[in-house]
Amino acid sequence: VLCWFYIFPGYRLPRDKEIVEEVLRQGEVWQKNQTGIDVYRKLLTECCDPRRMFAVTKENSPMGKVLWYDGEFYHSHTVNNETYPLFVKRGGAVCVCVCCAVVGNGGILRHSKCGQDIDQADFIMRCNLPPLSKEYVEDVGTRTHLVTANPSIIEKRFQNLLWSRKAFVERMKVYGSSYIYMPAFSMKPGTDPSLRAYYALADTSSNLTMLFANPEFLRTVGKFWKARAVHAKRLSTGLFLVSLALGLCEEVTAYGFWPFSVGLDEQPVSHHYYDNILPYKWFHAMPEEFVQLWHLHKSGTLHMRVGRCP
């Protein structure tokens, strides 16, 4: 934070053009800093215990446990006979995470040719069931180990799974045998579609494994970043995944994080690599998040890829 204070006196959020200049000044240079990585893992472990807490598990959420929703006031779910069997046993075994890639959905990925680079990681995380069709493979790769799915996507793209489940099950095949990570206990209207998604996969013997995001983890990660100048109603999905990766992995590379309207060549860049639908303005604070991620990049804690891959 301190270095941004000097670069942008008065500690205001830098303008898009200033960010571009700052990123170009830094260039593609990145030097891994093991101490920085260890310090951040320790900080995240102390605040949020990602390894144990990122998902709702049989271990951290036994029968009778009250799960308080992180996106609602005073709403909770008490783990019961119906929900307990849907939880995985433990969270720790999700990956042997050495080199992790977190792939955001930013438009800078388009024509980046980062697909091969991404596919080389040991554990690849993606956000919001992104398209991985042929036209994007060169830029975003093909492999996935964990993909998030917001319940609102189930509602918008799959008629809330109240009608046919076939289209959903078919569309999920592109993610191979990865984990689907859904915030089922964040907002009240999201619970039923998440449970339906669980059954749609389980009933068709899908290769995917459902993980429900633990609302306690989402809440503690939110607080962690709030203390680091990220002021949003809710963190973006990408920042949740970067936080998870920093807690679990030896080395983290992030792709597709660029919430600005111009690219490094000062040409317009779309919001997503697959469309230009902008987010609801006051919900996330992606530029603030980027400032923090760039700070971690400069300190060698996290590698941000914002240009083309070689």
Positions in the binding site for ligand CDP (CB under 6 A): 104-107, 127-128, 236-239, 256-259, 271-272, 279, 284, 286
- Token pair of 45, please? 């472990």
Residue nearer to ligand CDP on the CB measure, 127 or 169? 127
CB of 90 to ligand CDP, least distance (A): 27
Phi, psi of 103 (to 5 degrees): -110, 110
CB of 284 to ligand CDP, least distance (A): 6
* Distance from C-alpha of 53 to C-alpha of 83, rounded to nearest angstrom: 17
- DSSP lists the bridge partners of residue 55 as 213
CB of 267 to ligand CDP, least distance (A): 14
* Distance from C-alpha of 251 to C-alpha of 276, rounded to nearest angstrom: 31
- Token pair of 269, please? 């860049």
Strands 66-68, 76-78: pairing is antiparallel
Taken as a whole, the chain contains a residue count of 310
CB of 293 to ligand CDP, least distance (A): 8
CB of 309 to ligand CDP, least distance (A): 17
Per the rule left: phi > 0, alpha: psi between -120 and 50, beta: everything else, 208 is beta
- Token pair of 19, please? 């960010």
Phi, psi of 187 (to 5 degrees): -125, 140
CB of 278 to ligand CDP, least distance (A): 9
Residue with the two structure tokens 């400069």: 298
Residue nearer to ligand CDP on the CB measure, 87 or 225? 225
- DSSP lists the bridge partners of residue 102 as 125, 254
- Burial (CB < 10 A; 0-12, 13-18, 19+), residue 286, is buried
Residue nearer to ligand CDP on the CB measure, 126 or 165? 126
Residue nearer to ligand CDP on the CB measure, 79 or 149? 149
Residue nearer to ligand CDP on the CB measure, 104 or 151? 104
* Distance from C-alpha of 218 to C-alpha of 240, rounded to nearest angstrom: 7
CB of 239 to ligand CDP, least distance (A): 5
Residue nearer to ligand CDP on the CB measure, 61 or 151? 151
Phi, psi of 211 (to 5 degrees): -125, 130
Residue nearer to ligand CDP on the CB measure, 94 or 103? 103
